[in-house]
Each structure stands twice: as structure tokens, then as C-alpha cells.
Structure 1
Amino acid sequence: MDIIIGIIMGIVEGLTEFAPVSSTGHLILTGHLLNFHGERASTFEIVIQLGSILAVVVLFWRRILTIFGLHKSEEKNSIGKLNVFHIAIGMLPFGIGGVLFYDTIKDVLFSPQTVVMTLVAGGVLMIIAEKFKPAPVANTLDQISYKQAFAVGLFQCLALMPGFSRSGATLSGGLLVGMNHRTASEFTFIMAIPIMFAASGKDLLESWSHLNSSDLPLFITGFVTAFVVALIAIKFFLSLINKIKLIPFAIYRFLLAIVFWIFIL
């Protein structure tokens, strides 16, 4: 049963972590349907998140090296030349918010009721972003300005609330400050690497006591499944996002909120 749970939860994590649909909401709902709860389940979710973020590292390794000046960008006539300062500026608001409010949010707001509300709120923001976005001025990663990076970082703070979706918040923010869909998506994925490693690493250290050798098959299965599925899902999402935009994802969030209301609340 552990192997089956690992595969199912790994698939859900890999499919939803970087789509603007709330991986937290999907994992809570799936765990409820599988009767998989408690500290063991929470620690498992941290591990499979690391599998998903490893997929981003694999897919964007050239760009990551470029950010640190270890690889030459292939883009010509670029404006900002995406570098480590863009990432740091984008992370700053979320980092400050996380340090100040993370424990409070986790203790007070981490509930099914909050997830339902943030699923809806995130969907509304995505529709607003699509309806009121300006003409894009950043059509590649190297055209992102420091001001745009900081603005996206501010939107990312919304993802401190469970269920809001970090991807949904940053994609919406990217569109509203003049990025096209693909550029906002790629910036979201790259900015997720340090944030998710830091947050997941902190949670994993705090949950380490809940691990034992009998859990290895579950954790390894979930990690590998999430990694492989995320590799495929990210490539598919980047090829799709410029075509379908954000509104179909917003509608999906509304439907998920209804399902959440029926099965969880």
C-alpha cells in the first residue's frame, strides 16, 4: 500500500507543483481520499516537493549557470540580463514574510477552510491578470527588469497562505507587470528553486524525527515519481501556457474548491 500511495501522491505533486492550481490543495484532497494523514504524511509531502524542484534544476541547469555567470546566455538584444540579483530581489519579500509569519500561518491558517478560500481568491486574481495585463515588455528571461522581479516577489507573498498557489500568484504578478506568459512561467520556476529548497529543507529538519527505515520505500517511490512527472509536466506546461492562458486554470480552481467543500469540509 505504501508503494501505491507513493506513486499516487508523487503523480499529484509532480502534476500540480508548478501549475497554478495549488499543489497543497490537491495533496490534502488526495491524502484525505487515501486516508493518508498525520506527521508521516506531512514529512512525505516535504520529500516529494524536493523531487519536483529537482526536476526544475535538471531542466534549467544552463540558465542556472548563466545566472551565476558560469554560462553565456544565448539570447541577443536582451535588456536586463537575468542574474542572481533578479532572483534575490524576487525572493526578498517572500523571505521576509516567511521569517516573520511562516509559523503563525502554518499554525493558524493551514486548514481546509483556508484552502477553499484561497483557491477561489487565486482564481479571481488570475482572471484579473488576464483581463487587465498590459502589453508585454519582457518576452524573454533576459528582458526582466529588477523592478519587475521585485513586483513578482511581492505577489509571491500571497503564496504564504495555503492553497493560494505560488505559481498562480507569481504568474499573475508577472503578467500584470509586463511579462508574457512563458517568461513569467520560467521566472516562476527558477525563483522556486532556492525558495522551495529552503522551505522544504527547514521543514524536513524539523520533521526528521518522524522518519525511520521502514518508510524508505514510500519516500523513495514518491520522490522519484514526483521528479519524473514534474519533468514531463513542466515541459508540457511551458508549451501550453501561451496558448490557453490562465483562465482555464482559474475555472479549474473554482471547481476544485467545490470538490474540496464537498469532500473535506
Structure 2
Amino acid sequence: MGNTFDAVILGLIEGLTEFIPVSSTGHLLLAGHFLGFESPGRTFEVVVQLGAVLAILTVYAAKLWQVVSTVRTDPAAARFVFSVLLAFLPAMVIGAALHDFIKAVLFETPVLVAVMLIVGGVILLFVDRFAPAATHEDAMQLPFRKALAIGFFQCLALVPGVSRSGATIVGARMIGVGRRASAEFSFFLSMPTMAAAFAFDLWKSRHILDFAGLGNIVIGFVLAFVSGVLVVRWLLDFVSRHGFVLFGWWRIIVGSLALALLLLGF
């Protein structure tokens, strides 16, 4: 397990990047590589992800309670819950089937992560400028077919560096969902997706989890939670006004720098 400085940096990276379309996994893998950070059984990465899960649940607690408490009596609430679960289904099935390959091969290929950051950045810039006119501006009223389509786009994020939020937002924009609604539906979809990913990673890694560096794990978890809350509260208003250009250029710059360092042997 790395030192406290590593835990602070990686915890902040997880919280700051989980819900914006820049790939938190890609940033964590690259930062861990360059810091020389090693976590037996990836215990640190598994636990700090829980901090981000709790962040989104905290921010949307009131809205979630409203939906859950009325799901039996309000057709609109029931329909929204079904649309989110429908969108979650493709990643659940494909992610479970490819889990071992993704963790053993793709997660150990930093060059792939850097390239995916660059490619994803270019795509994000293109889609933000040339996406079709929005026909849906309410994340809670998307047609089922569009929710499912967004779910299939989310499967692209199984490749580290693609970004779960990036894939779902780009997919939503391409099928006529507005900027704010795309980001908000991505938030809602992240809840079952991240919770399932955390539970599945925890179960698959249960025999090799190592909590020897518990203090650093707690630091990373708390920072991921706090920074995640701040990002979620800020993001919707930002993208409504400015779109996703900032995140596209951020991906290109970070990916290019990382690729250059990797090719130089760092």
C-alpha cells in the first residue's frame, strides 16, 4: 500500500473524476502507475469507489426517496425506475461476463488507457458541437428505447479510459437528449451500476483483500466522498451553460501527456 500522500491524491482523483466524462478509472490507473502505487487485491480502489457511490446517493437522497416512496402509486415514478434498470441491464450482463479479462488484461495496460482518453476526448468535442437537436430535456421521462440505447453505450466504459459517464452522456446526446438531462440520467444510471460494480469487485476479491493500510484507505474513501459530492452539485449547472468542451480537452491533454511519458519509459 502506498503512503498517505498517494492516498490523498488518488482519493481526490476518484471523487473529482467519477461523475464527469473523463474516466475516473483511467485517471486512477495512470496516477497509480506513475506514483508506483500498489494495493493488494486493489483493496484501495474497491473501497474508495464506495465513497463515490455514497456521494451520489447523498446528493440525490431527497429525489430518490420521493421516487421510491411513490413508485407504487405514481406511474411516472415507476416508469422512471424501470427505465434506469433497463439501461443498467446491458452493463450488468456484459460486465459480469468479461470481469476477469477486464481486470487482468485491460486494467494492466496503461498505454490503452492513455489512448482511450485521447480518443474519447476527440469524440466528446465532436458530439458536443454536432449532436442533433435535443428532443428530450427531462431525464425522468426518457422513452424506454432511448434508456436501453444509453445502457448499451455504457458498456463501452468497460474498457478503462473510456469513461462511464462519458459513454452514457455521448450516447444520450447522439440520440437527442439535452445536455443537462444527459448528465442527470448518467447520474441516476451510475447508482445501480457503481453499486453493482462495487459489490461484484468486493465479492471477486474477497480472498485477497488486504486492509493493512486501513488508515490510507479511510483517507481515500473520505476524500472521494467529499469531492464527489462537490462535483455532482456543480456539474449540472456547468454543462447546461458550457457543454462538455472543457472535459474533451482535458482528456486529450492528460492522455497525450501520459502517452508521451509511457513511451519514454516512465
Same fold (TM over 0.5): yes
Whole-Å Cα distance in 2 between the matches of residues 156 and 28 of structure 1? 19
Deviation, structure 1 residue 69: 4.2
Q: Cα gap change, 1:116/1:155 in structure 2, threshold over 3 Å: closer, same or farther?
A: same
Shift of residue 250 of structure 1?
A: 1.3
8 Å CA contact 1:120–1:253 kept in 2: the answer is yes
1:205 maps to which residue? 203
Q: After alignment, is 220-229 or 197-206 more displaced?
A: 197-206
SS of residue paired to 2:134: coil
**Letter aligned with residue 191 of structure 2:** I
2: CA distance, partners of 1:62 / 1:125: 34
The answer for the alignment partner of 2:170 in structure 1 is 172
1:68 is paired with a residue whose SS is helix
Give 1:50's aligned residue: 50
Q: How does 1:35-184 map to 2 (within 5 A)?
A: 35-39=36-40, 42-70=42-70, 83-110=80-107, 111-184=109-182
Q: Relative to 1, partners in 2 of residues 1:63 and 1:94: Cα closer, same or farther, differing over 3 Å?
A: same
Deviation of residue 239 (structure 1)? Answer: 1.8
Q: Measure the CA separation in 2 of the matches of 1:242 and 1:205.
A: 38
In structure 2, how many angstroms separate the alpha carbons of the residues matched to 1:31 and 1:14? 15
Aligned counterpart, 1:29: 30
Task: State how far apart, in whole Å, the 2-side matches of 1:95 and 1:14 are.
Answer: 23
Q: 1:237 and 1:108 mapped to 2: Cα distance? A: 32
Query: Take 1:200 and 1:19, find their aligned partners in 2: how far apart are those partners?
Result: 19
- In the TM superposition, residue 112 of structure 1 has moved relative to its aligned partner by 0.9
Q: In structure 1, the residue corresponding to 2:196 is in which secondary structure?
A: helix
Q: What amino acid maps onto 2:61 in structure 1?
A: W
Q: What fraction of aligned residue pairs are identical, expressed as a percent?
A: 36
Aligned to 1:4: 5
Does the CA contact (< 8 Å) of 1:62 and 1:71 recur in 2? no
Decide whether the 8 Å contact of 2:168 with 2:182 is kept in 1: yes
Tell me how far 1:38 sits from its aligned partner.
4.4
Tell me, what secondary structure is at the counterpart of 2:212? helix
51-60 or 63-72, which deviates more: 63-72
Q: State the shift of 1:151 in Å.
A: 1.1
2:130 aligned partner, one-letter code: F
Match of 1:236 among 228, 231, 234: 234
Change (3 A) 1:178 1:81: farther
Amino acid at match of 1:32: H
Decide whether the 8 Å contact of 1:6 with 1:219 is kept in 2: yes
Cα pair 1:81 1:143 within 8 Å, conserved = no
Q: Structure 2 stretches of 5 or more lacking a match?
A: none
1:158-198: CA deviations, max 9, x gaps? 10111100011001111111211111111111111111111
CA distance in 2, matches of 1:169, 1:213: 32
Number of aligned pairs?
260
In the alignment, is the contact (CA less than 8 A) between 1:67 and 1:82 conserved in 2?
no
